[in-house]
A and B are shown apart, each in its own frame.
Chain A
Amino acid sequence: MIEVNNVSFKYEDEIVLKNISLKIKEGSFTAVIGSNGCGKTTLAKHLNGILTPAKGDVIVDGFSTKHSSFETRKRVGFVFQNFEDQLVYSIADEDVAFGLENLGIGADEIKRTVNETLRSLKIENLQKRNVNTISQGQKQLVALAGVLAMNPKYIVFDEPTTMLDVKNKKNILKMIYDLNKKNNIAIVLVTNVLDDLKYADRIVLMKEGRVIFNDKKLALKKRLLQEAGLID
């Protein structure tokens, strides 16, 4: 379980997160939603320790992001909003292998895992392709493969549908849903698009650095979405 306990964070003088507490259970599908600049991405980056809180703490399966960041990053994968910048190597299969190399896994196992991961996402055809020459949707899948290959227990998707067309949006959301249901990976989906909430079980609604709703999707009221500035 990921436990966010009384977390506050500020960039220079601007307070971005204000005393946030929430829990992400294993195998759950949580959507973090809010208007632009409400602190969603900052919160998401706290979940695997890319950022560490100024106050409070984030605990992943008993490991603090402040003190055991290797363990927390190993458990929580992160697919960035700008997935173009997430790709370290220019050849797809080599990029997928990057995280595995860092884990110190042997060459044969890396090769097997990379092939399996590409196959599971149905992108074996991209194996030797240069990532600079493939489509945005394909780049995102390669970025996702790089995270999946490391076998995380939780994956945070930061606005995964922002840069995609309608067809690719639908595909990536279905893929995220399958990861949750078939692979039992807990999903944290950060978004400001209400349509993306389709598969989420739980909603965390944010406004100006605070959580104003944290409950099952069915309990979410229209009034709160208006208050958060997501609908008129």
Chain B
Amino acid sequence: MIKQLNFGQYRHKNSLIHLLDPRVKILSVLFLSILIFTISGYEILIFTIFVIILLILSKIDLMNLVFNLKVFYSFMLFMLIMYLLFARNQIQDGLLVIWRFFMVILLSYVLTYSTTLSMLIAAVEKLAIPLSLFGVKPRNIGVLISATIRFIPVMFVNASRAKDAINSRLGSFKEVKTVKIFMVLLLERMLKSASNLADAMYSRLYNEDAKSSLALSMGKYDYISVTSILILALILIIY
């Protein structure tokens, strides 16, 4: 259970990816996530190799990664079963969609593994500046994203506690009623945590007009990264 808590969480490592400007990382993840859905065939293989290189450069423990992603395996299996049941003649397309989905998860994992929440907020604040023209406060978006990531482990802990509480009183998860109770219990606890967080943020003078104290600047590795991604895109498109 505790190992699951690593999903989506930052780890302090001295890696090249950790050093990159968070804006570059966010935009790269967005760009690559779109790119993966525009390519097929052998191009996917090249893309996969590129993602593996990113994982290695981020110094991610690959064994832990396999374990930490286990929450997604059942979802991917479900997608596969749906294809098998309702679109058997399109099974190849189905596998491709699942693989693309998996690549997007890996890219997001690299982003959250190598970027602290305050860095993410600082980057989102900068990238979302144009939205302020429409009255949207960039800091609100940044804090919303960071709170979501911050609360992934809290959700696992709450889920574990709710499950233990039900199991200790001989509840059976084979019954729909028990699953419903579990969901309500989990939702209730998550709402309570969210309410506590809101109180804590208010108490600590949360100010949607405040700016992140982190100064962001592009370095040579950022330019190399952007160039590498553009070259990859060019190769895949020409290929």
Contact = CB atoms under 8 A, between A and B. Distances in A.
A150 B204 contact: yes
Contacts of B212: 101
A105 B213 contact: yes
B9 A70 contact: no
Nearest to A149: B204
- Give 7 nearest A-B pairs by CB, closest first: A85-B196, A94-B118, A99-B204, A86-B200, A102-B205, A107-B213, A102-B207
B197, B205, B215: most-surrounded residue (chain A CB, <10 A): B205
Contact of A73 (B9, B117, B193, B203): B203
A174 B153 CA distance: 31
A130 B154 contact: no
B213 A128 contact: no
A130 B213 contact: no
B102 interface: no
A84, A94, A111: most-surrounded residue (chain B CB, <10 A): A94
Interface string A72-107: 011001101010111111110010011111111111
Contacts of B5: 132-133
B1 interface: no
Contact of A106 (B9, B154, B202, B213): B213
29 contacts: A45-B199, A50-B199, A73-B203, A73-B204, A74-B205, A80-B199, A85-B154, A86-B196, A86-B197, A87-B150, A88-B197, A88-B200, A89-B146, A90-B9, A90-B116, A90-B117, A91-B10, A91-B12, A91-B118, A94-B118, A98-B201, A101-B213, A104-B211, A105-B213, A106-B213, A107-B214, A111-B213, A129-B12, A130-B10
Nearest to B120: A89
Interface residues of B, number: 33
Contacts of A73: 202-205
A97 B213 contact: yes
A78 B202 CA distance: 10
A146 interface: yes
Interface in A102-121: 102-107, 110-111
B205 A99 contact: yes
B11 interface: yes
Interface string B40-51: 000000000000
B147, B207, B213: most-surrounded residue (chain A CB, <10 A): B213
Give chain A's interface residue range (CB within 8 Å of chain B): 35 or more
A70 B210 CA distance: 14
A107 B196 CA distance: 28
Contacts, number: 102
B175 to A, nearest CB: 31
Contacts of B154: 84-85
Given A106-B213, A132-B9, 8 more contacts: A73-B203, A74-B205, A85-B196, A89-B117, A98-B201, A107-B214, A129-B12, A150-B204
A14 B212 CA distance: 41
Nearest to A83: B200
Contacts of A94: 116-118
Interface string B1-45: 000010001111000000000000000000000000000000000
A30 interface: no
Contacts of B205: 70, 73-74, 99, 102-103, 150
Given A80-B196, A107-B213, A147 B150 contact: no
B149 interface: yes
Given A50-B199, A97-B213, A132-B5, A88 B150 contact: yes
A70 to B, nearest CB: 7
